[in-house]
Amino acid sequence: MTERSLTFTLNGQPREAKVDPRVHLGDFLRHSLGLTGTHIGCEHGVCGACTVIVDGSPVRSCLMLAVQIDDCTVETVESLGKPGDLSPLQQAFAANHGLQCGFCTPGMLMTLEAFLRTTPAPTEEDVRIAISGNICRCTGYQGIVQATLDTASTKANRT
C-alpha cells in the first residue's frame, strides 16, 4: 500500500505523518500516534465513542479516513485538561458522576466541547439531543446532561 503524507494540526501542534490510505482516523490517532484517549466502540458510526473535533466540528473518527485530515485541525480528549488540572467540563463530569467505566467518556467530552462552543446556554433538551449520537451504557445519561448544564451556567455566571 502506498503511504500518503499528511500535514495537520493536532491539539495545537503542527504535525506531519505518513499513513496508509485504508486507515481510519481513530486507528491512526490510537495506533500510529499513540493517542489512546480516543476509543473505538462500534466502527460503524453510531456509538460516538470515537468522536474527535476536526476543524471545529465533532466527527466520528471511525468514519473518517486519516488521509482526510490533511490541512485540518484536529482536537482529541488529550487537548482538554490533565489529571490535577481538569477542564470545567471534565470537573463537572466528576462532580455529577457523569462517567462510570470511562469508555464512552472521551467521545462524550469532545461532542460536548464542540457543542458548548456553539451553544453556550443550552436547555436540558438541547444537551440530550446534542449527545443523542453518543451511547453510554453505564450512566443513564443524567449525570452527563447535568454536568453540561452546570458547565454552561458556571461559564455564563463568570462572564
Partner 1 sequence: MSGRFFGAAVTRVEDARLLTGTGHYVDDIELPGMLHAAFVRASFAHGRIRSIDKRDALAMPGVVAIYTMDDFADIAQGPMPPMAPHPLLKTPITYHPLSDTEVRHVGEAIAIVLADSRANAEDAAAAVILDVEYLPTVSDVALAHEANSPTAHSQHASNIAATMKAGFGDCARIFAKADHVLTEQFDIHRGGCHAMECRGVVANIDLLTDALTISTSSQSPYMVRRHLAAYLDRDENGIRVMTPDVGGGFGPKANVYAEEFAVALSTIKIRRPVKWIEDRQEHFVATTQQRGQIWSIDVAFDNNGRMRAIRGHCIHDNGAYAPYGLILPATAIASFPGPYALEALDLTVDVVLTNLVPTSPVRGACRPNVAFLLERLADRIARHLGMDRQDVRQRSFVKAEQMPYTTGLKARDGSPISYDSGDYTGALNLVLDKIAAKDFEARRKESKQRGKLRGLGIASCVEDTGIGPFEGASIRVTPAGKVIVATGASSQGQGHRTAFAQIAADALGVELEDVTVETADTAKFPLGISTIASRIAVTAGSSVQLAAHKVRAKAITFASHQLEVDEHDLELEGGAVRVKGIADMKIKLSEIARALAGSTGVPLPGNMEPDLAATAYFNSNALTFAYGANACEVEVDPETGDVRVVRYVVVHDCGKLINPLIVDGQIRGGVVHGIGNALFERMIYDEQGQPLTTTYGDYFLPMASEMPPIEIHHMETPSPRNPIGVKGAGEGGTIPAAACVISAVEDALGPNGPFIPVHPISPQQVVQWLKATR
Is position 102 an interface residue for partner 1 (rule: CB under 8 A)? yes
Which of residues 2 and 159 has its CB atom nearest to partner 1 in the complex? 2
Strand partners, 158: none
Count of residues in the chain: 159
**The C-alpha cell of 17 is what?**
505523518
Is position 53 an interface residue for partner 1 (rule: CB under 8 A)? no
| Residue 10, H or E segment | strand 4-10
Whole-angstrom distance, CA of residue 24 vs CA of residue 129:
26
Is position 51 an interface residue for partner 1 (rule: CB under 8 A)? no
Whole-angstrom distance, CA of residue 96 vs CA of residue 20:
41
Is position 138 an interface residue for partner 1 (rule: CB under 8 A)? yes
Which of residues 68 and 87 has its CB atom nearest to partner 1 in the complex? 87
Please pick, from the candidates 144, 150, 151, 152, the single residue that binds partner 1 as defined by CB under 8 A. Answer: 144
Q: Least CB distance from residue 90 to partner 1, whole Å?
A: 4
User: How many residues of this chain bind partner 1 (CB under 8 A)?
Assistant: 57
Whole-angstrom distance, CA of residue 39 vs CA of residue 48:
9
Cα R_g (the chain), whole angstroms:
16
Q: Least CB distance from residue 18 to partner 1, whole Å?
A: 15
Q: Least CB distance from residue 147 to partner 1, whole Å?
A: 10
DSSP 63: S
**The C-alpha cell of 30 is what?**
490510537
- Contact pattern from residue 11 through residue 50 relative to partner 1, giving x for each residue in contact according to CB under 8 A and a dash for the rest: -----------xx------x----xxxxxxxxxx-xx-x-
- Contact pattern from residue 60 through residue 99 relative to partner 1, giving x for each residue in contact according to CB under 8 A and a dash for the rest: ----------------xxx-xxxxx-x---x--xxx-x-x
Strand partners, 60: 51
